[in-house]
Structure 1
Amino acid sequence: MLHTINKSPFETCTMETCFRFLAPGDPVLFIEDAVYAVQAGNRFSPMIETIQKNNPLFALQPDLSARGIEDVISGIGLIDYEGFVGLVEEHQVNNWL
C-alpha cells in the first residue's frame, strides 16, 4: 500500500500516525508541506532514517523546489509527477490528510 502524506510534521502528527500503520515494504510519498519532513538535519531525521530501513520513502521534487528545499535526507527517492502516477498505478493508496 502506498501511503501519501501532505501535512507538515511541524504542524500535525499525521506523519507519526502514518508510520504506526506501515507494513514492511509499504512505500511512503511526501507531498505538499509534508516534504519539510525530509529536509536533512531536522528533528524528524532520525525517525525517517529508522523508517527507511524497512520502507522506501519518496518526496515529490516539484514540492521540494517550491519550498526551496535542496538538501534532503540520504536515501529519499525524489520523483516527478510521472513518478507519482507510477507509484499510484502500482499500489493501492492510503492518503493521510
Structure 2
Amino acid sequence: MSTLHTVNKSPFATNSLTSCLNHCREGDAVLMIEDGVYGGLSGTAVAEQVAAKAGSVSIYVLRPDADARGLAQERMLEGIEGVDYAGFVDLAAAHDRTQAWL
C-alpha cells in the first residue's frame, strides 16, 4: 500500500518535511504544497535530505504554489517534478491513502 504524503509548511518554519521523509517508505510519494514548496529548492539546509530520499520516493511540488512564490523550476532539486492541480488529483487517486503533514 502506497501513501501520498502532503507537506504544506516551510521546512524553515517546522520539522514537518523532515518527519515526513523519515516516515516515507519505498513507493510512496511526497507532494510539497503551499509553503512546503520551499523544501524542493536546491542549495538549502534540507536539500541533501530531500535528494537522498528521491531515489526511493517520488517527490513533487505543486507548480502553481511554487510559481506564486516566484520559485522557478530551475531552482528545484534535480528529480523533483512539478505538477498542476490535475496532477495532484492524479497522485491522490494513484495512492492507497493520503497523509497530510501539518
Q: Report TM bin, short chain.
A: over 0.9
TM-score by length of 2: 0.92
- Aligned residue type for 1:94: Q
| Dislocated runs of 4+, deviation >4 Å | none
Check the 8 A contact 2:10/2:39 in 1, yes or no: yes
Tell me the secondary structure at the aligned position of residue 29 of structure 1. Answer: strand
In structure 1, runs of 5+ residues without a counterpart are none
What one-letter code is carried by the residue in structure 2 that aligns with 1:9?
A: P
Amino acid in the other structure paired with 2:79: G
Residue number in structure 1 paired with 2:42: 40
* Letter matched to residue 88 of structure 2: F
Looking at structure 1, the residues matched to 45 and 20 of structure 2 have their Cα atoms a distance apart, in angstroms, of: 17
Q: What is the alpha-carbon distance in structure 1 between the residues aligned to residue 68 and residue 90 of structure 2?
A: 22
Identity %: 38
CA RMSD, 1 decimal: 0.7
Aligned twin of 2:100: 95
